Amino acid sequence: MKIPDKTVVLTFDDSVRSHLTVAAPLLKKHGFGGTFFVTHAWMDDTNNYLNWEEIAQLDKMGFEVGNHSWSHIAFATPKDAELLSNELVKVEYQLEKVGVPKPVSFSWPGNQFGPEAVEVLKNAGYLFARRGPQPDVPESSVVGLGPLYDPEINTPLLVPSSGLAVPGWTLSDFKTIVDRAKNGQIVVFQFHGVPDGRHPPCTTPPERFKEFVEYLSDNNFNVISLRDVKKYVSPDAGKNDPISKARFVP
């Protein structure tokens, strides 16, 4: 199926409280999809992070809940990849207890990845996994600007972030990134909290986020969750992506 121009995937990492209080209601208002990648890592901090019952509300609102591992450790080395299976299952078990279906999407903690862990995800039935903008673009390039996601080229278990939200983004920065969504290529955003109290370098101010979402709405973007990309992807998509053999540790 042909990918419409202006197709955008919004993803949100770390199960930050503002995902439920700020981001989700705004997306819902505009009929947009989105993927919330959840982890147990900071859940004891109930002021800043969602618990499992609250995460279930995101699912009930129609959003995708994805797996971001139990402990938010890196899985880039062969040794660390051995831990991934158990890290996935622990999150899946808690989601099942609150009625959320087994995730089909994963996001790589710290945006680090390796070929052994890709195999673990494949064997565990995951269809998509989102990484960061690196290593395609150097970290010193325009802040937050990453490669586009081309489902014909990129393996679905290493979907690049086309935009990694930073606190200083203006609407103009956002447009620079999102207006590239055309010719079969998808723009994938990686957000954290909106705002993010515990991790200020990752925060997006709510008033900025509102501007971004309104821009998408006013300009008729096709805003979907990562799992929704499935309908555009052929079963052997990304088979020859050289990055599927690569390891990324910043």
Site string for Zn ion, 11-50 (x = CB under 5 A): --xx------------------------------------
Rounded CA separation 194/215 (Å):
17
Kindly state the smallest distance separating residue 138's Cβ from Zn ion, in Å: 21
Cβ–Cβ < 8 Å for 112, 106: no
Q: How many residues bind Zn ion (CB under 5 A)?
A: 2
Supply the DSSP string of 92-126, one letter for each residue: HHHHHHTTPPPPSEEE-GGG-B-HHHHHHHHHTT-
Kindly state the smallest distance separating residue 68's Cβ from Zn ion, in Å: 6
Other CB atoms within a 10 A radius of the CB of residue 10 amount to 27
Stretch that binds Zn ion, among 8-16, 120-128, 169-177, 234-242 (CB under 5 A): 8-16
**Which residue's C-beta sits nearest to Zn ion?**
13
Rounded CA separation 87/201 (Å):
26
Kindly state the smallest distance separating residue 157's Cβ from Zn ion, in Å: 17
Closest CA to 231 of 144, 128, 130: 128
Stretch that binds Zn ion, among 10-18, 85-93, 199-207, 229-237 (CB under 5 A): 10-18
Kindly state the smallest distance separating residue 70's Cβ from Zn ion, in Å: 12
Q: Where along the sequence are the contacts to Zn ion (CB under 5 A)?
A: 13-14
